[in-house]
Amino acid sequence: MASSSAAAGTGGKAALFAGIMGGVLLVDVATKAAVQRMLREYDQVPVVGEYVRLTYIHNPGAAFGIQLGPYSREIFLVLSLVALVALLVMYWFTPAADRSRLGAIALICAGALGNLIDRVRLERGVVDFLDVGVGTIRWPVFNVADVAVTTGAIILALSLWNEERRASEGG
């Protein structure tokens, strides 16, 4: 019996991970393709007045416009691969019952993979298009993958913090 329940837990773990990762990756790739098909680079389309716009740009750096000089694309390509390997190791060691951590890892993997696809296929960098702000005070333009990585990182940090807190409390 123990092996069949372990197998069911592993299947549930894989299904949760694949479902979240696949869904987020699909939305990321589809939205980037739609933006590239419908807009010209630097076009700005208001969605909610000046507060939320679609602004099509290419970002050779990391999330939210972080740059590391002329080799940003290559550096972030390598860092993405390293991060994906580390996340897959973390996935492997995460118990099936820790659904929040598995979901967080899946979000981060989906975002990293979505932007990695762009880095490989587009020499100019990742397609970004979500533009939020007021007037000239704006957040750097981002995409669905960036939202997934950021959300996943916050959930993962909270999950690890709660685990550490429980361990230090003795239970």
Residue 146 is among the residues annotated as catalytic for this protein: yes
Catalytic residue among 28, 118, 128, 131: 128
Residue 98 is among the residues annotated as catalytic for this protein: no
Q: What is the DSSP string of 76-123?
A: HHHHHHHHHHHHHHHHHHS-TT-HHHHHHHHHHHHHHHHHHHHHHH-T
- The DSSP H or E segment spanning 124 is none
Q: For residues 24 and 114, is the Cβ–Cβ distance under 8 A?
A: yes
Catalytic residue among 28, 118, 131, 146: 146
Catalytic annotation, residues: 128, 146
